[in-house]
Every structure is written in C-alpha cells, then in structure tokens.
Structure 1
C-alpha cells in the first residue's frame, strides 16, 4: 500500500505531438507511432486522400493516461488480429468535445455527440469514425483497476454517459479536471488521485465513492454554481449524491467546511474581478452580486477580514496601477 501511495505522487510525464512539419505521406505512420507510445495502439486511416492534420497533448501518470486529441476526418480501429499483436490491458473513456462520431463494436454501434462519453475495454474490437474531424479528451485506466472500482465487473460492451451541462456532477467534474490538467503547467499535485476517485464513482455507479471523489465532485459543482446566492450545502450534497453529513465529512477530512469553501471561492473571484480591466465598468455592488453575495455590506466586511483591505481600496489601487498583496 505504501508503494502505491508513493507512486501516486510521482510526477506525470508530458508528451506532445503535431503533424505540422511532417511530410503528408508519413503523417499517419507518425500519428500511429505517437498513439502507441503515449496512449493506445491504433490502426488509423483517413477517409479521403486529404493530408492528415492532428495534434495531441498527453499526460502519463503511474496509474492512468490523459490526452486531448484533435484531428481531421479519420477512422481508428482495433481489430481482433491487431489486438493480439498490440494488447493494452486498459479501459478507455472517450469524451467527445465537437462533431458526431460513430463507435462500432461486436454487439452493435453507438453514435457519440459532443458532451457524451463512451467507456470501453480497449482489448475488445472496435472501430471509431470522425467524418467531421476529431476533438476529444481521453482517459485510460488499467483493466485490473477498473475491475476493482466496478466491483469485479467486466466491460463487455460500451457504456455511454453524458458529461455536458445538465449531466451528473461526477462526470462533469471528471471531464473538467482532465481538460484542466492537460493545460496546467504543472498539473495540480492531487490530479491523479482526484481523477481516479471520480472515475471510481462513475465505474461503480456511485456505489463505491470515497471522500476524495466526493470532495472533487462537490468542489466542481460549487465552482460552477457559486454565483447563486441561494447555494447551500443541501443543494451541493444532492448534486453529488450524498447526504449533508457525508459532504461535511468529506470537507472536514481536507480541513474545510462547505460553507467556508463557498465563501472563500466567492471572495477570490470577487478580488479577481475588482482587479480585472474587463470588469472596470462594474460597480462593487454588481461584482458582489455576480459572485453570489446578496449584500454588498457583507461582501465588503468578509472581504476585509480575508484580505485585510477593502474592495474599494483594491479598485483604486488597480486603477492607479498599484498591485496589492
């Protein structure tokens, strides 16, 4: 157990690929080579004779791999013979960001639209196609870990779920965290652990969650909803799918309370707006309302307690070109 915990703190390896500068006739070969090294081995071909254009950002953690993939129309496949030569022993989750895609498997086919994700065992045959181009996030996780998270269940057919607006909080936050990690330099220290625990919630159908996963999902919901002055612990707990007591314990384990976290986020966003040239035309009262305060006086009082200065002083300093600590 100690070695696993140490592994989770190992720094991720970042990789990057682009077809720019590669001779058109060699691009597919290089694209396949990069995916084999960084993500999943794939048999790739274009739909027509147009040159392939593709980019990929990758993060390789000890227990999972993340990617953001963009490309022109193409078909990717893992047939039975290809899998025998290139086994992966991973479960993959593909998050569609733009354009419709088809997903053929041995039991039928699925259509994937933006805001939808599909989870599948990468060592079972499949074919994916992107007639309008490819833009997605990808997560891969070792099959033994998936079985642990899912209670021993094998993924014999694809599972599709939503992660866009209106979808479950866990799925939304999982996609957001993957996307954020790929553009952060470096990613947050707890990224791998949080992604794993959010994935555990989804893989188990919400039956095997941990405090870390619930905390990540709750923070994500709060960050999307903090501007609502009526936001409370009951709403956050319901969105995450746990009781208020469980929510309180998840925050307490991190040395926080839900209420203080909401307040701190509102104050941080308020300070950002006060110092932002883009919000120079907003009054302090308008900024207070935007970040979820129903009272300007309460905003000013708690702001001074937190930052030892007033919103008005921040606004004046910003206009004078003075940066306050």
Structure 2
C-alpha cells in the first residue's frame, strides 16, 4: 500500500510512525470506513479482498520530507488505482520492493512478479494493481515525479519493469529505506530533508543503472548514503570487539580502502569514529541511573573496550576526567 501525502493539518509530526490495521469480513460499516478513509482517502488506492470471507492488513506509514514510506504486511487483497481515483491528478511514483513472499504488479498491460528483494516502479497516474501473497511483506517508497525526473528525465521508461540490473545498489536502497524508518522519529526537519534527498538520489541512481548510465551529481549522494549505513552498522555493533573496518566494508559491499576514503572526506578516520562512538556509549552507560552498582571494567567491555587502561586513558583525554570521576560527578539517583 502506498501512502499519500497527508493533509497539511496532519503533516506536523507525521515523521512519527503511524500504523493502521484491519482484520475481519470485507463488509459492514467498519470495513467500508477503513476502505474509504484510509485506502481511498489517505492512500489514494482502492482495495479488492482476495477472499469474500476475510481480509487482514497491517500497514505502517512514515513521512520524511516530500517522501512517504510504507510497510505492508499480509494484506490478503489487491490495492489499485482505479479510473475514479485517477481524477485526483496524482502522478507520484512508487518503488515497490518485495520483502517476503511474492508481489505482483500489473500496469500498462505488463505483469511484473517480484521475488524477495526485487523491485519495480509504478506510476500513480495510470491504472495499476499491486497484489501481495498471503503472509507476505512489501515496502513502498512514494516520491513526487518531479524529484525523480530531476535525476532521471526519462523515468517513465522504467515504469512497470523489474529493476534487476544492479542488485548491490538495490540492497543499498533497501538498507537506506530501513535506516530512514529507524531515524525518522527523532530527526529534526533539516535531517529529514537531507535523508529524503539522499533516498531520492539513490532511487535516481538505481534507475540510471537500469539504463547503464550514472549521472555525476548522483555519485556524491550515493557515497553519503553508504557512509550513513556504515555508521549505523558501527553504532549497532559497538559492543563487538571484532568490529573492524574490514567487517564494516564487507557489510557495505565495499573495500576497506573505499570505506576509509568515505570517512576521510568527513575529516575523521574510521578508527576515530569508532573510538568516539564507544566513548560516548561508555559515557551514557556510566551516567545511567542503573550504573552505580556496575563495575567500570564491565561497562568498558559493554562499550567494546578490551583493554581497561586504554579505556581509562582515552576516556580522560575525551572528557577531562577518569570514568570513576565521571560517575562520582553524576546526580544521586537514590
């Protein structure tokens, strides 16, 4: 299901995740209200249940800048742009990705079957039907056409085709989609704009790859997005002493030298970034109300430091006091 841009009254705070579910017989006031308000009104899509007896659907929406993100789970139904709905004049594009199960998109007389991790582009200004297999999951990234056309002027040629030419880039797009969902609730407006721009550039680069063409302006955005994904991986694995530039490079599908160049452009090496994040994590752990009873050595291990003396030395260099002194300076939580 592809979320529409919310009305102005709903735009404030819509970067917070919204979730809508329906489970029951596809008839009656509750079903018709869900179909009219959420499907036709909010998503600008109609729904056709696969069964006359039951429909179940859970859809999560996130708004970031001009982009809308959706994750649809086990919707036993088809979602469609019908002739009456086309009158709304919406010409947005939506990148559909099959996460699990199968996804079937029908547009322009073409039937595009997607297996997990495969993608296809649909256009909201034409008749289209998108169907997800039972218990399947798909994601939909909805982008105003003008934003995509700025990077890929002939984007219309990529509609209703499987996007299979660049599997590595497709994975980056999927990973960055997930990162946007994770980051959106805490982002300030400027941060939202930056991530939305990078997400759009990644989609533009993916479409260019289908034409065996890469536009120079896209490459910087691609590097920025890869760097953010690497940083997210590092922060998630700070407690692992096996964390290294080699492991981060493998996760990103890059060489260690390429990862180092990405960090160098920010004025910080990979090792410096890891150390800074581990020190910040240790600082948060020591400052926690539950920390007074925990040994400093255990906290150091939890933050990924295997050498207590190195931890104490770098902590003092960074914060101007030892970990024990930092703990003593915290408020009395008793």
- 1:43 is matched with which residue? 46
- 1:199 is matched with which residue? 200
- TM-score normalised per structure 1: 0.69
Deviations 1:6-27 (A, max 9, x none): xxxx955466544489995242
- Counterparts of 1:195 and 1:215, CA distance in 2: 12
User: CA 1:11–1:33 in 2, change beyond 3 Å: closer, same or farther?
Assistant: closer
Q: Are the aligned partners of 1:74 and 1:130 in contact in 2 as well (CA < 8 Å)?
A: yes
Equivalent of residue 78 in structure 2, options 75, 79, 83: 75
Deviations 1:40-65 (A, max 9, x none): x2221111133434344434455222
Q: Are the aligned partners of 2:57 and 2:76 in contact in 1 as well (CA < 8 Å)?
A: no
How much has 1:75 moved relative to structure 2? 1.4
User: CA 1:220–1:61 in 2, change beyond 3 Å: closer, same or farther?
Assistant: closer
Q: Is 2:224 the partner of 1:221?
A: no
- Counterparts of 1:295 and 1:77, CA distance in 2: 59
User: CA 1:87–1:157 in 2, change beyond 3 Å: closer, same or farther?
Assistant: same
Q: Are the aligned partners of 2:26 and 2:49 in contact in 1 as well (CA < 8 Å)?
A: no
- 1:248 is matched with which residue? 264
SS of residue paired to 2:245: coil
- Counterparts of 1:156 and 1:21, CA distance in 2: 34
- Counterparts of 1:21 and 1:49, CA distance in 2: 10
Equivalent of residue 118 in structure 1, options 117, 120, 131: 120
- 2:276 is matched with which residue? 264
1:1-325 → structure 2 map (5 Å cutoff): 13=14, 17-19=20-22, 24-26=27-29, 27-39=31-43, 41-61=44-64, 63-70=66-73, 72-78=75-81, 81=83, 84-105=86-107, 106-113=109-116, 115-133=117-135, 135-154=137-156, 155-160=158-163, 170-181=172-183, 184=185, 189-205=190-206, 207=215, 208-209=217-218, 211=220, 214-225=223-234, 226=237, 227=240, 228-231=242-245, 235=249, 238=254, 244-245=260-261, 247-249=263-265, 251-252=266-267, 258-271=270-283, 288=300, 291-293=303-305, 295-311=307-323
How much has 1:248 moved relative to structure 2? 2.8
- TM-score normalised per structure 2: 0.68
How much has 1:172 moved relative to structure 2? 4.2
User: CA 1:265–1:117 in 2, change beyond 3 Å: closer, same or farther?
Assistant: farther
Q: Are the aligned partners of 2:58 and 2:75 in contact in 1 as well (CA < 8 Å)?
A: no
C-alpha RMSD over aligned residues: 4.6
- Counterparts of 2:180 and 2:97, CA distance in 1: 10
- Counterparts of 2:317 and 2:70, CA distance in 1: 41
Deviations 1:28-48 (A, max 9, x none): 552353244434x22211111
Structure 1 unmatched ranges of 5 or more: 1-9
User: CA 1:181–1:96 in 2, change beyond 3 Å: closer, same or farther?
Assistant: farther
User: CA 1:218–1:88 in 2, change beyond 3 Å: closer, same or farther?
Assistant: same
- Counterparts of 1:291 and 1:163, CA distance in 2: 37
SS of residue paired to 1:209: helix
Deviations 1:154-180 (A, max 9, x none): 32333446999x876632442223321
> Which stretch of structure 1 is more off in the superposition, 211-220 or 166-175?
166-175
Structure 2 unmatched ranges of 5 or more: 1-10, 207-213
User: CA 1:158–1:168 in 2, change beyond 3 Å: closer, same or farther?
Assistant: closer
